[in-house]
Chains A and B, each alone.
Chain A
């Protein structure tokens, strides 16, 4: 980001390559609307481009970009509150996974529809914390900055989210020891 900020145009594609998919995964689950998520994604990166001059190296780039994305999601949701959000399709056509462990990736793919619905059912504040940590890979301390909530609150939300998701998986017969298998 620093390179781009000082005028290195070649640095930006690398930045996009590294973060764009994660940001999209985050906004897609937060908005639960693909069209809206694509708009938010585009606007997020445009704001990164426009705001690069004012970006300070003291702030982590991820904190900044997810703060922008989150605020845009919330604005978008507020604007369209009257419209019922379309639920995420159970198996979207672009359901590619970059998971490095093939076996684990296969298990995750099996569980995906189950988890999608479980994540969608989480309260918004738990969902955003879960998505920021699990999908975007943002540390808890940074999530506290993105969301404006104290770190203990962030962790508390995360625990509730994980316990709810675990319970959801458990109800579907997925055991904790081997999440790819259903409990007998």
Chain B
């Protein structure tokens, strides 16, 4: 506030050191050239000087009982802290369990004899829809009620055939997709379209003719897939089953659906967004924020010391994004407290500032 050219509020700020240095310099210059403001400032400083005697020592009475109460409160806070982490950890563990159960492929589809898949192969033109339906059903089973279940049952023989299709070519295509994924979702969508050289993309009538002639077009691919399956985790096998369906002519128009483990677990927990994975994974459908949140809590339960910081920092941003104000404040506050001076702490402080903003 200024009064007839005298910065009255600024004089107050100047005397109490609440002005930024550059502004303080300007106000001080004014004071040096203005007798009225100089007298005001001198008066304020005189009062400040005299006010030094207003300080008193606090009485000692009651301090012991206060510190005793504080000690008990601190113990309670520690217990609460443990319990607070236990909930999300249990939820995370449950989510992992659900994913593990949900993603275990039906036994006949994965391990059934090759002969089981033959009828589906001989189904000719119906093969692709069935394959798509099979993979779709599999994904739907993973998505647990987030979408209507396809008409084809997950345990039908058709998926068994498609599950055996992924081959070295598929791996190469996946690699290509992975590379393109890094450039953005649009490139990924393009990559998901079938490559004309892929054997499984031969015209179906040609395949039917070959099969009628007794040739097993899928034998090499099956071998590759078996090798790959031995090396891969069960979730990766499910991913491999899903991939050919997405690449089939019928599914060509659909978005690529290859999934990472996280993505699948995210789908199980209700996440449906598709975006490139940060770690260079194939077209990864990222887990929903809620699923990622559960994962972070689960990971934090196992993290000790420094490795927890990136997890906490991510959780801080995530909780803020989800609008979990109290949790965001708690987690971001912990980041600021645990790692002062780090970029993570700076980012967490920014989140806290945003949370504090009205």
Contact = CB atoms under 8 A, between A and B. Distances in A.
Interface of A: 2-9, 11-13, 16, 20-25, 28-29, 38, 41-42, 45-46, 49-50, 52-53, 56-59, 92, 94-99, 101, 104-105, 107-112, 114-116, 119, 131, 133-135, 139-140, 152, 155-156, 158-159, 162-163, 165-166, 169, 174-177, 179-180
Given A3-B337, A9-B74, A25-B55, A46 B47 contact: no
B54 to A, nearest CB: 5
B27 to A, nearest CB: 14
Contacts of B107: none
B335 to A, nearest CB: 10
Contact of A41 (B13, B51, B58, B67): B58
Given A38-B59, A166-B43, A176-B45, 6 more contacts: A8-B74, A9-B75, A57-B352, A115-B54, A162-B47, A165-B50
A66 B300 CA distance: 36
Given A6-B77, A46-B66, A112 B46 contact: no
B312 to A, nearest CB: 13
A102 B218 CA distance: 95
A108 B53 contact: yes
Contact of A179 (B46, B67, B74, B78): B46
B329 interface: yes
27 contacts: A6-B81, A7-B74, A7-B75, A8-B74, A21-B56, A38-B62, A41-B58, A52-B77, A57-B333, A58-B355, A58-B356, A97-B53, A104-B52, A107-B50, A108-B53, A111-B50, A112-B53, A112-B54, A115-B51, A115-B54, A134-B51, A134-B54, A135-B51, A135-B55, A156-B1, A166-B44, A176-B45
Contacts of A5: 77
A89 B337 CA distance: 44
Contacts of B69: 46, 49
Report, as a range, how many residues of chain B touch the other chain: 35 or more
Contacts of A111: 50, 53
B329 A58 contact: yes
Contacts of A119: 54
A174 B52 CA distance: 15
Given A152-B1, A159-B8, A179-B49, A96 B57 contact: yes
A115 B50 contact: yes
Contacts of B62: 38, 41-42
Contacts of A104: 49, 52
- 9 shortest A-B CB distances, which residue pairs? A7-B78, A9-B74, A108-B53, A112-B53, A108-B52, A58-B356, A57-B333, A24-B58, A12-B70
Contacts of A94: 56-57, 59
B59 A2 contact: no
Contact of A176 (B46, B56, B80, B336): B46
B205 interface: no
B56 A24 contact: yes
A134 B45 CA distance: 11
B215 interface: no
Nearest to A175: B46
Nearest to A37: B59
Contact of A38 (B1, B12, B44, B61): B61
A162 B77 contact: no
B333 A2 contact: yes
Interface string B338-353: 0000000000000011
B9 A152 contact: yes
B212 interface: no
Interface in B90-115: none
B63 interface: yes
A89 to B, nearest CB: 11
B74 A140 contact: no
B313 to A, nearest CB: 16
Interface in B32-53: 39, 42-53
A82 to B, nearest CB: 26
A155 B75 contact: no
B51 A20 contact: no
B310 interface: no
Contact of A16 (B47, B66, B334): B66
Contact of A57 (B71, B80, B329): B329
Contact of B9 (A16, A57, A139, A155): A155
A49 B9 CA distance: 36
A28 B58 CA distance: 10
Contacts of B80: 53
Given A58-B355, A115-B50, A21 B55 contact: yes
A66 B22 CA distance: 30
